[in-house]
Amino acid sequence: MSWLLERSHRTPYDLGLLGVDQAFLDYDLGNRSTAFLYTLSEDCKRCPYQFERKLDQNEGANFTKISTKHAWKFLFTEDDSGMFMQNSSSQFCELDAQLGQFGVYKINAESCEVETLSQPVNIYTSLMFVTSVLLLGGIFIGFCATIFNHCKNRRREFEPRTDEMKHQIAEAKRKRVSSLDTFRGISILLMIFVNDGAGGYQILEHVTWDGLQLADFVFPWFLWIMGVCIPISVKSQIKRTGSRLKVIASIFKRSCILFGLGVMLNTLGVGPKLETLRVFGVLQRFGVLYFLTAGICAICWPTNPKTDGKFLDLAALTPQWLIHLALHLVHLCLIFLLNVPGCPNGYLGPGGIIDDGLYQNCTGGVSGYLDKIILGEVHLYQNPTTKFVYKTGPFDPEGPYGCLPSILTVFLGVQAGTTLLMYKKSVQRLLRWVAWGGISLAFAYLISFVIPINKNLWYDITIKNKLDFRYYTI
């Protein structure tokens, strides 16, 4: 704060009033006495300009605080054209601007240029410093832990052990997969960071609709981790109980617990109002996906899997692959062939104000439409990001229909877990995981030209109920 106040002596604006990802913006209308300002954020794809405010040169300074998270388009007109506008014969200036945090800018509407009165700061310096420290610290701690474990194991080699002690050690090693625990810890750390605002960094937050940023990986990672654990758990339970029916009953019980806990969490802050209670959510999707994926795995897991061959993991999962691909094919057919009233076939956009509001009520296309039919609009999430950016109605990013595409993410984890079971040598596992990763990445890249990567249509986002900083007159 002292640094901001020191900089504020060089400018008439008090930079201490600015928050994270904010800047000051002033306007100079030149010879004009009044003008109407329309703005368009880069975050709102294919949206029309939105009316911001009327500018009056006689009122003196017109400076405001503005968000710097996204690039902006500014449009000045001589006449008021209403709330939204695409083109106007009265416009006299249109320009793009990428503003920086804690900067001070002035738009000269006469020459249609942006002047920088005070340079912004590099908001990523602290992030890069902290990331470097954590990375180097992690490498150092990992190196020390490796040396410590090596010395510990060497010492144990010379210690006398009974058969019971050897059995206990072997059981302890089989219970945990260290690499999976490490990955789970990284995912939890990132989840906590993202849920707490991601430090205000836009690149670490969720994308509003189409696209992919770091925060958008959190939920798929957890789904994949759950998938890795499924074959390990199913194989162990079948071996212990000898009954697939008991395994399925256990899976169903755990799924119901997850779903019930999720419903209870949805009552926080709003109370148990059943007439408007949001039914689905993060834990609910976990419960549904666990029941479907683990249930299929319990039914189809081979009684006597092959122990020799080049494709042991693929052979063990062939029936499951056929089932999951069939489910995914059904999902795609519904997405592109089902007729949604008032919407074009295969619509995957956010609806609302984009495309001149032609598809106002088409948010999510088939996904949003079926969720409304299954649950009713009042039981969907009422404050999605599309509501604030695209001016849409309720839409549930964790709705029931979205379980169909996200089940494939869990099953890819099942594939990785099966590889872990079938192959004992690290090199064999690594080669197969790299191959599966490469194939999945290549296929995802190719399919993205037809179906955009979208976080709302198949997996969860954690949304804080807040608007992106817009304009606030001081």
H or E element that contains 425? none
Nearest alpha carbon to residue 229 among 302, 283, 180, 286 = 180
Rounded to whole angstroms, how far apart are CA atoms 337 and 143?
54
Burial of 44-64, coded b for 16+ CB within 10 Å and e otherwise, reads bbebbbbbbeebebeeeebbb
H or E element that contains 352? none
Contact between 40 and 390 under an 8 Å Cβ cutoff? The reply is: no
Query: pLDDT digit of tens for each residue in the chain (474 aa)?
Result: 444 444 544 556 677 778 778 888 888 888 888 888 888 888 888 888 888 888 887 766 667 888 888 889 998 888 877 777 766 677 888 888 888 888 889 888 888 888 888 888 877 777 777 778 878 887 888 778 778 776 766 666 555 555 555 555 555 555 667 778 888 888 888 888 877 777 667 777 778 888 778 888 888 889 999 999 999 888 888 888 878 899 999 999 999 999 999 988 888 877 778 888 888 888 999 999 999 999 999 998 888 777 676 778 888 889 999 999 999 899 888 888 888 888 888 888 888 888 878 888 888 888 889 989 998 888 888 888 888 888 888 888 888 888 888 898 899 999 989 988 888 888 888 888 888 888 888 888 888 787 778 877 774 333 333 333 233 222
Alpha helices in 34-162 (DSSP H): 125-157
Rounded to whole angstroms, how far apart are CA atoms 27 and 97?
13
Distance of CA 147 to the CA centre of its chain: 37
Which CATH number is 2-124's, of 2.60.40, 1.10.10, 3.40.50, 2.40.128? 2.60.40
Rounded to whole angstroms, how far apart are CA atoms 464 and 385?
9
Contact between 74 and 56 under an 8 Å Cβ cutoff? The reply is: no
Q: CA-CA distances (angstroms) from residue 336 to 330, 350, 398, 446, 451? A: 10, 16, 20, 18, 10
Contact between 40 and 48 under an 8 Å Cβ cutoff? The reply is: yes
Return the amino acid letter for 195. N
Distance of CA 236 to the CA centre of its chain: 33
Phi, psi of 219 (to 5 degrees): -65, -45
Rounded to whole angstroms, how far apart are CA atoms 114 and 95?
8
Q: Residues 9, 70, 167, 206: which is the catalytic one?
A: 206
- According to DSSP, the residues that pair with 34 across neighbouring strands are 56
Nearest alpha carbon to residue 77 among 67, 66, 85 = 85
The residue extents of the domains of the chain are 2-124, 177-467
Rounded to whole angstroms, how far apart are CA atoms 448 and 437?
16
Nearest alpha carbon to residue 386 among 378, 397, 375 = 397
Q: Which pLDDT value is given to residue 287? A: 93
State both tokens at 416.
Answer: 């990785």
Rounded to whole angstroms, how far apart are CA atoms 183 and 220?
12
Rounded to whole angstroms, how far apart are CA atoms 173 and 309?
26
Nearest alpha carbon to residue 451 among 347, 374, 313, 370 = 347
Return the amino acid letter for 165. M
Rounded to whole angstroms, how far apart are CA atoms 256 and 443?
34
Distance of CA 221 to the CA centre of its chain: 10
**Number of neighbours of residue 364 by Cβ within 10 angstroms:** 30
Q: CA-CA distances (angstroms) from residue 332 to 53, 337, 350, 451? A: 44, 8, 18, 10
Rounded to whole angstroms, how far apart are CA atoms 81 and 389?
20
DSSP 18: -
Q: What share of the chain is helix, strand, coil (3-state, %, to 5)?
A: 50, 10, 35
Q: Which pLDDT value is given to residue 5? A: 47
HSE, side-chain direction, 13 A CA sphere, residue 34: 6
HSE, side-chain direction, 13 A CA sphere, residue 52: 24
**Number of neighbours of residue 267 by Cβ within 10 angstroms:** 13
Instruction: State whether residue 437 is helix, strand or coil.
Output: helix
- Which phi-psi region, left, alpha or beta, contains residue 213 (left: φ > 0; alpha: ψ -120 to 50)? beta
Instruction: State whether residue 225 is helix, strand or coil.
Output: helix
Rounded to whole angstroms, how far apart are CA atoms 327 and 306?
26
HSE, side-chain direction, 13 A CA sphere, residue 413: 26
Phi, psi of 305 (to 5 degrees): -65, 150
Instruction: State whether residue 357 is helix, strand or coil.
Output: helix
Annotation marks residue 206 as catalytic: yes
